[in-house]
């Protein structure tokens, strides 16, 4: 067995085990296999979970409406049985809320509707809330999120007070926070604070890079405290951006790759529901399959292939490699310069920064060392990448 095969299998196993383990240990979210509802074209099996202490029963696949192209897709999703819809005051300057409100129409009371405010203070939040109610054509919002908070420091007592007041006034039913980063600090803080009912967090298979269990633990902590956990950015973005010239393109873009990513998230019982963005009916039909179809070894292989692709080149800037190079190279800096060229297409910028290194560092050639002393804890092929930077820039 080649080392490459071993690593692939290891990654594949890594994708499966943490989630399955978390589920068997905690068993917090109740998975309810409900009777199939009628989809527009074909029967769809719907899975439901209870959204933490809210008690709301939601489908494990919800709908993120931000980039939905036409209201008919939302209408169709509701008819198919999806019962969680998400938008935000800030999406398309409020135009997205209007489209969602119009599309749901009479179905509004049959679904769980969430929106968000990015206002920094009480006056702004209240203004946003009234505007959201108007645009969504409803007299209550099920879950009202503070939008895009990266740490507890970004959530003031005043914001919490506004949410609680809105709850008492019946304008919202439950309070939440949405977050794209800083979850390892924020989620435990929310769990301890007790002022929130739901957290909306980015979560996908790529977060298992390096076998870091921190994100899964943060989500488990939130779920254990009774918070409903809604996952976004579930597709990890990367799969869609793979270029046809990439050797792994065929594997990563084969039909079902995106579905595999969604199923991986749904497989975590601590996640109550997911809100993949859906632009069209085809995407809707595919995403519906994540319900009633468990994650398979085949799905894990597809995702492992994606990790295989990004792992050797994806520097997380953790700084663990500092001081490890026997020639004294600032490894993280060199990797970053390479990212400017390879990742962002700014070759000139990458070269300019490389040439600012000391003469001694510029003269280093990785090929001169018999063995590289730098070991990246996240699996970046350091020697290979730094050598490429030297080849490109020196």
Q: Cα dihedral sign for 305, 296, 294, 55? A: negative
Instruction: Report the alpha-carbon distance of residue 216 to residue 200 in Å, rounded.
Output: 14
Told to check if 384 binds another protein by CB under 8 A, we report: no
Q: Is 263 in the site for another protein (CB under 8 A)?
A: no
Where does this chain touch another protein (CB under 8 A) — which range of 7-15, 27-35, 312-320, 371-379?
A: 312-320
The answer for 128, left when phi > 0, alpha when psi is -120 to 50, beta otherwise, is: alpha
**Residue 27, phi then psi, degrees to nearest 5:** 55, 40
**Can residue 158 be called a binding residue for another protein (CB under 8 A)?**
no
Which of 106, 348, 359, 370: binder of another protein (CB under 8 A)? 348
Nearest approach, Cβ of 317 to another protein (angstroms)?
4
CA distance 344 to 22: 37
Interface map 99-128 toward another protein (x if CB under 8 A): -----------------x-x----x-----
Which CB atom, from 281 or from 324, has the smaller least distance to another protein? 281
Binder of another protein out of 38, 69, 296, 326 (CB under 8 A): 69
Q: Total residues at the site for another protein (CB under 8 A)? A: 44
Question: Rounded to the nearest 10 degrees, how much is the dihedral formed by the CA atoms of 19, 23, 28, 32?
Answer: 100
All residues at 6 or more sequence positions from 109 whose CB lies less than 8 Å from its CB, including other chains: none
Residue 176 in 3-state DSSP?
A: strand
Q: Is 346 in the site for another protein (CB under 8 A)?
A: yes
By 3-state DSSP, what share of the chain in percent is helix, strand and coil, each rounded to 5? 50, 15, 35
Nearer to another protein (CB atom), residue 43 or residue 343: 343
Measure the CA–CA gap between 214 and 205, rounded to whole angstroms: 13
The one among 13, 32, 349, 355 contacting another protein by CB under 8 A: 349
Contact residues toward another protein (CB under 8 A) are 40, 66-70, 72-73, 75-76, 88, 90-93, 95, 116, 118, 123, 147-148, 150, 178, 180-181, 232, 277, 279-283, 315-317, 336, 340, 343-344, 346, 348-349, 352-353
């Amino acid at each position: 067995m080649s080392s490459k095969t071993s690593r692939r299998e290891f990654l594949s196993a890594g994708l499966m085990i943490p989630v399955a383990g978390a589920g068997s240990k905690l068993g917090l979210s109740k998975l309810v296999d409900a009777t199939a509802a009628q989809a527009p074209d074909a029967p769809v099996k719907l899975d439901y979970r209870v959204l933490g202490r809210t008690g709301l029963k939601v489908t494990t696949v919800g709908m993120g409406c931000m980039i939905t192209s036409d209201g008919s897709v939302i209408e169709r999703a509701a008819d198919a049985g999806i019962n969680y819809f998400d938008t935000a005051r800030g999406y398309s300057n409020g135009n997205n809320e209007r489209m969602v409100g119009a599309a749901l129409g009479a179905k509004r009371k049959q679904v769980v509707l969430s929106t968000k405010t990015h206002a920094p203070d009480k006056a702004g939040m209240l203004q946003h809330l009234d505007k959201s109610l108007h645009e969504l054509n409803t007299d209550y919002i099920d879950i009202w999120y503070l939008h895009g908070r990266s740490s507890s420091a970004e959530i003031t007592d005043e914001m919490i007070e506004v949410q609680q007041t809105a709850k008492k006034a019946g304008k919202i039913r439950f309070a939440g926070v949405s977050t794209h980063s800083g979850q390892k600090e924020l989620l435990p803080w929310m769990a301890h604070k007790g002022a929130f009912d739901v957290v909306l967090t980015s979560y996908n298979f790529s977060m298992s890079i390096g076998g870091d269990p921190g994100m899964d633990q943060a989500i488990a902590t939130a779920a254990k405290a009774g918070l409903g956990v809604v996952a976004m950015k579930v597709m990890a973005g990367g799969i869609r951006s793979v270029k046809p010239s990439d050797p792994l393109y065929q594997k990563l873009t084969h039909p079902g790759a995106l579905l595999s990513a969604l199923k991986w998230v749904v497989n975590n019982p601590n996640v109550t529901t997911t809100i993949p963005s859906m632009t069209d009916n085809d995407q809707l039909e595919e995403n519906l399959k994540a319900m009633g179809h468990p994650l398979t070894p085949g799905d894990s292989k597809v995702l492992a292939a994606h990790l295989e692709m990004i792992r050797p080149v994806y520097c997380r800037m953790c700084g663990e490699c500092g001081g490890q190079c026997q020639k004294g190279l600032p490894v993280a800096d060199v990797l970053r310069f390479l990212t400017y060229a390879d990742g962002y297409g700014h070759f000139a910028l990458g070269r300019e920064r490389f040439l600012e290194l000391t003469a001694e560092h510029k003269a280093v050639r990785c090929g001169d060392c018999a063995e590289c002393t730098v070991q990246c804890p996240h699996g970046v092929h350091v020697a290979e990448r730094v050598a490429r930077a030297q080849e490109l820039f020196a």
